[in-house]
Amino acid sequence: MADVKAAETAAPLDLLDERLRRGDGWRSVAGGLWRRVRSGDLGVLPIVLGLVVIWTVFQSLNSVFLSSANLVNLLMESASVGIIALGVVCVLLVGQIDLSVGSVSGLSAALTAVTFVSHGWPLPLSMAAALGAGALIGVVYAQMVTRLGVPSFVATLAGLLSFLGIQLWLLGDTGAINLPFESDLVHFAQLAFLPEWLSYVLVVVAAGWLFATGYGLARTRRAAGLSARSTSLLVARSAAVLLGLGFAVWYLNRARGVGWLFVSFVVLVLLLHYALTRTGWGRSVFAVGGNAEAARRAGINVRRVYTSVFVLCSTLAALGGMIAAARLAAANQATGAGDVNLNAIAAAVIGGTSLFGGRGSAFSALLGILVIQSISNGLTLLDLDSSFRFIITGLVLALAVTLDSVARRSRVAHGRAA
Amino acid sequence: MNDPVKEPAAAPGGRPILSLRGISKNFGAVAALTDVDLDVSPGEVVAVVGDNGAGKSTLVKVLAGVHRPDAGTLTFADREVTVASPADAHALGIATVFQDLALCENLNVIQNLFLGRELRRARLDEVTMEIRSWELLRQLSAKIPTVRVPVASLSGGQRQTVAIARTLLGDPRVIVLDEPTAALGVAQTAEVLNLIERLRERGLGVIMISHNMEDVRAVADRVVVLRLGRNNGVFAAEAPSEEIVAAMIGASDNVVSRRAGRARSVKGEA
């Protein structure tokens, strides 16, 4: 008995149960990862592998693909739809859908251009107006879904058509409004790049911050008698981030470097990641997506969660539309039209956010849009027309969703959350 | 683990913490509850039994604030109260564990325990929440190996434990359990019954809805029978099952007693 007692006091509070596999250090970490993958909890693994395959194929077909200049371009192009996809992630997390993100982004682009160029409003005011319109659209959707019980699929499908109409009406007969090149918005989206030194400073800050937060958490956990990641593991993780990001930044700096636009996108991803994983709001988003009735009974204001998510999605769509217009230096009838809508949703899903709610992450927008933009960019380089782009993006989406379904079945069989 | 003899926080039969008097609830032309009385004291387990359609679920929903009674009074801690919403029930200290448990399968045990009452909502205090989760589960002698797995991977009994443990975080004074053992195996049922006894030891008033007579007799101090939405007798837990069943079904001459009688006579002939 005494021996058992001693062993128990030595083990962290959360690892006392004798049924748990216990172990320290690297082998247990690797073993744990392997068990997770085998049980169908694939995480980002399929996307990363997919990206490697896509990049290898395109590089072998056209050696320009992985050049610094092209990658800089690829990242800049991915920001606008990526930002839209961020909003889609939120809506998918609560088990709803927004099919109108494309039209909302187009409407926002048109609204910015009309007020800024045609009516001569100050730029911040135009942008605020467009973002406000986006937020308002989100409020309307949320009211329709929560108060009137309209399925979000239908509400946003109606929105898709209506807002496309308003966009065309705003743009008038010419169908396009050019944004002046010297405006801050266009400059930001096209020409603003980080100075080389600053990009490296940011890499070091990112790795240092990752280590500091990880170490802080581990220390608090150990002080509280819980198990914690070992310091060597934290150092290794930060070192990997430092080297990986450092190499990427060095490679991009051989061309124009890292765009402020892309950095802003990444910052948005990180902010949303924090909000989703570390705040009460994020917890309620996952809870509502997992079991809305349970969330309601736990005292969560489900209606407010839905509203926040729809507002966030439409506002991010508006922001994405503005940036798309700025990239083009024009808002026209094609802004937000065509495949923007589906690309944004596909990016979220390819990135690993479940269509059924309750599972996903802000990073899925980033990874998913990289996949989609790589395909689009690679095919453009090969001079293949958009028919191929649609076909291949569609196939990748089908593959991603199939993989997710299979992994989901495996997760259920292994007793992990579906 | 040699606890001294457990003294209930208040002797059963003391002043009731929660009293229902003349509760009625109609759904259109259907009278789901008519003039129902119910008392529960601190440290007492009251079982509410009844056949299908007896009004057990409606009674649970009235207690949980899901339905408002059409008539009757609720007295909680000597104060007449109205329970107009689940939030009201929470605020008073009446916690309800529904049959479907209402857990989020995609969230882990800690996240479910603290759902809706996370510590430090702007920057979640995960460490403190984890420690409090362990403390709570230890107090209940719950057999959950790790709290960082999604609830989807837990067994039925473990989920029931998580659902009950969650209500304790709100420091309730009355816990309403709706069919806590309905879907459980033998060992898991025993686990949950132990848990209910521990709730009683903590001085909570427990209202347990069930139609498993064996479980009821194992833990309940009193058995309240509902039949067709009305009170139909209060029994001590030691009362013979046949009497309770008779009250549930409505007569001493009923399907169950006839079957029992037939079985006896068959045995007699053999």
Domain boundaries, chain B: 18-239
Residue A19 pLDDT > 80: no
Whether B121 and chain A come into contact, CB under 8 Å, resolves to yes
**Which residues of chain A does B124 touch, with a Cβ-Cβ cutoff of 8 Å?**
278-280, 283
By the CB < 8 Å criterion, does B156 face chain A? no
Alpha helices by DSSP H, listed for chain B, are 56-64, 86-92, 109-113, 126-139, 156-169, 186-201, 213-219, 241-249, 255-269
pLDDT at A251 over 50: yes
Instruction: Sort out which chain A residues have CB atoms less than 8 A from B143's CB and list them.
Output: 17
d(CA A364, CA A351): 4
pLDDT at residue number A130 = 96
Chain A residues touching residue B116 (CB < 8 angstroms): 284, 287, 295, 298-300
Q: Touching check for B136 and chain A: CB below 8 Å?
A: no
- Is the Cβ–Cβ distance between A333 and A316 less than 8 Å? no
**Looking at per-residue confidence, does A418 or A106 come out higher?**
A106
Q: How far apart are CA A273 and CA A269, in angstroms?
A: 6
Give, in words, the CATH class of B18-239.
Answer: alpha beta
To the nearest whole Å, the CA of A3 is away from the closest chain B CA by: 17
Minimal-distance CA residue of chain A relative to B96: A297
B87 lies within 8 A of chain A by CB: yes
- Tell me the percentage of chain A whose pLDDT exceeds 90: 65
* Contact pairs from chain A to chain B, CB under 8 Å: 110
Q: Which residues of B touch A12 (CB under 8 A)?
A: none
Strands laid side by side in the B222-227 sheet: B94-97, B174-178, B205-209, B45-50, B222-227, B230-236
Q: A178 — phi, psi (to 5°)?
A: -80, 140
The ipTM is 0.86
Q: What is the pLDDT of residue A397?
A: 80
Give the model's pLDDT for residue A25.
61
pLDDT at B269: 53
Contact state of B104 with A284 under an 8 Å Cβ cutoff: no
**Pairwise CB contact (< 8 Å): B86 & A278:** no
Mean pLDDT score across all residues of chain B:
84
CA distance, residue A417 to nearest chain B CA (Å): 5
B-chain residues near A286 (CB < 8 A): 104, 106-107, 111
Show residues of chain A in contact with B90, CB under 8 Å.
299
Bigger pLDDT: A338 vs B1? A338
What pLDDT score does A391 carry?
A: 87
pLDDT value for A390? 82
pLDDT at site B8:
37
Task: Please compute the mean of the pLDDT values over residues B68-89 and round it to a whole number.
Answer: 89
What pLDDT band is residue A47 in, cutting at 50, 70 and 90?
confident
| Residue in B79, B90, B157, B154 with CA at minimum distance from that of residue B117 | B90
Query: What pLDDT was estimated at residue A10?
Result: 58
Is B102 in contact with A297 (Cβ distance < 8 A)?
Answer: yes
pLDDT of residue B3: 40
Whether the CB of B99 is below 8 Å from some CB of chain A: the reply is no
Residues B52-65: b if buried by 16+ CB within 10 A, e if exposed: eebbbbbbbbbbbb
What pLDDT is stored for residue A129 in this prediction?
A: 96
Higher pLDDT, B160 or B268: B160
pLDDT at A284: 95
Report pLDDT digits (tens) over A135-168: 999 999 999 999 999 999 999 999 999 999 999 9
Q: Which residue of A has its CA nearest to B141?
A: A17
- Closest CB from B104, B130, B148 relative to A291: B104
What is the greatest pairwise CA distance in chain A?
Answer: 87
Does residue B253 register a pLDDT over 80?
no
* Contact between chains at A226 and B103 (C-beta distance less than 8 A): no
Which residues of chain A make contact with B106, given a CB cutoff of 8 A?
Answer: 286, 289-291, 358-359, 417-418
The residue of chain B nearest to residue A12, with distances taken between CA atoms, is B131
Considering only CB atoms, B116 lies closest to which of A217, A300, A417, namely A300
